[in-house]
Amino acid sequence: PQRHEEKPILRVAVSGAAGQIAQHLLFMLASGGCFGMDQPLAFQLLDSKEESLDSLEGIAMELEDSLYPLLREIKIGNNPQKVFQDADWALLLGAVPRKKGTHRAELLDINGRIYQEQGKALNEVASEDCKVLVVGNPCNTNALICMENAPRLQRKNFHALMRLDENRAKCQLALKAQRPYTCVTNLCVWGNHSTTQVPDFLNACIAGEPATDVVKDEHWFQHDFTPTVAGRGGEIARRMERSPAASTAVAIADAVKSLVDPTHEQDCFSSAVCTDGNPYGIHEGLICSMPCWSEGDGVYHICEDFAIDDWLRERILESEDELIRERECVSHLLPNAGPAAC
């Protein structure tokens, strides 16, 4: 009889690993629900603050005590050059949160520096095929900085998290249509993970029917659905006095699964990816969310057949313009770019 060959260990690096999102995420990943029930894992946990090492040790101990059969190794540290060694995936959660009175440009600079350092470290030590998912805000521009500082890695392998926005949009549509969440498919949230994001109701389906045929209420789509989805994170943060952590972790797990498993026919997922050569005429050299489908094993493509009407085009352009302005603000962190223009 043939002996069952085990898959090689998959190395998953996580930054911001002592933070609240990681508290949820690491246990979901370790259970095998994202990378597969036959995929042995090594966790490489980074938190750049010296004082977080104790917390990282505590998390590692909790993971060990949970006896996850697939979790074979845990490494912790605060030096990305060491922690990212041979990483196959890098889930980058680490970022300084916005405080009252912090301007967006300041946040772009503070967090941009973190992603410049982490991009350089990935470039030096990660696996050549490493897939990178940036969650720390402003995530699109952080992902851009990371990508531009890691030229050895494939540009296609950089993502910024838009799945949280997609999940929020699916929730609102399902509630309005009074149908289960799973009925909502082909829903892309385009653009920047900011209030300019564009939840696309034109191409979305509910139980296989165009969402606009099921919910016949254009005013609701434009003036209720769209701002509710875009403002959802802020609304939760106001109530909880901190950013949503659990639903963010769930969305990260969903985003990873969407890349690891092939996408069902007639469906898509939202991911902010590099716009080089995109079929929608979006400005190149940005990290902008577009509808994607996956072949599995991390190989994905941009869906080419999304209809775009004038309303959608105008909104996507606004979000695209915001991304261009953000890129100008961080040009000092991008190799081969001019001085910051903001």
Q: By C-beta, is 142 or 263 nearer to ligand LMR?
A: 142
- Can residue 244 be called a binding residue for ligand LMR (CB under 6 A)? yes
Report CA-CA distances (Å) from 323 to 34, 197, 232: 30, 11, 20
**Short-list 156, 205, 148, 160, CA closest to 179:** 205
**Residues 204 to 233 in contact with ligand LMR, rule: CB under 6 A:** 233
- Can residue 19 be called a binding residue for ligand LMR (CB under 6 A)? no
**Short-list 183, 193, 240, CA closest to 215:** 183
Q: Active-site residue 223, yes or no? A: no
Catalytic residue among 4, 24, 159, 193: 193
Among 137, 203, 275, 319, binds ligand LMR (CB under 6 A): 137
- Can residue 149 be called a binding residue for ligand LMR (CB under 6 A)? no
Task: Give the span between the Cα atoms of 324 and 282, in whole angstroms.
Answer: 11
Could you give the dihedral angle defined by the CA atoms of residues 328, 120, 29 and 140, in that order, rounded to the nearest 10 degrees? 10
User: How many chain residues interact with ligand LMR (CB under 6 A)?
Assistant: 5
- Can residue 164 be called a binding residue for ligand LMR (CB under 6 A)? yes
Q: By C-beta, is 48 or 243 nearer to ligand LMR?
A: 243
Q: What token pair was written down for 97?
A: 């949160």
Confirm if 175 and 143 have CB atoms less than 8 A apart: no
- Can residue 243 be called a binding residue for ligand LMR (CB under 6 A)? yes
Cβ of residue 242: shortest distance to ligand LMR, in angstroms?
8
Cβ of residue 71: shortest distance to ligand LMR, in angstroms?
27
- Can residue 93 be called a binding residue for ligand LMR (CB under 6 A)? no
- Can residue 94 be called a binding residue for ligand LMR (CB under 6 A)? no
Task: Give the span between the Cα atoms of 199 and 168, in whole angstroms.
Answer: 9
Confirm if 270 and 187 have CB atoms less than 8 A apart: yes
Query: Which residue's CB atom is positioned nearest to ligand LMR?
Result: 233
Pairing of strands 205-206, 287-296: unpaired
Active site residues: 193
Residues that bind ligand LMR (CB under 6 A): 137, 164, 233, 243-244
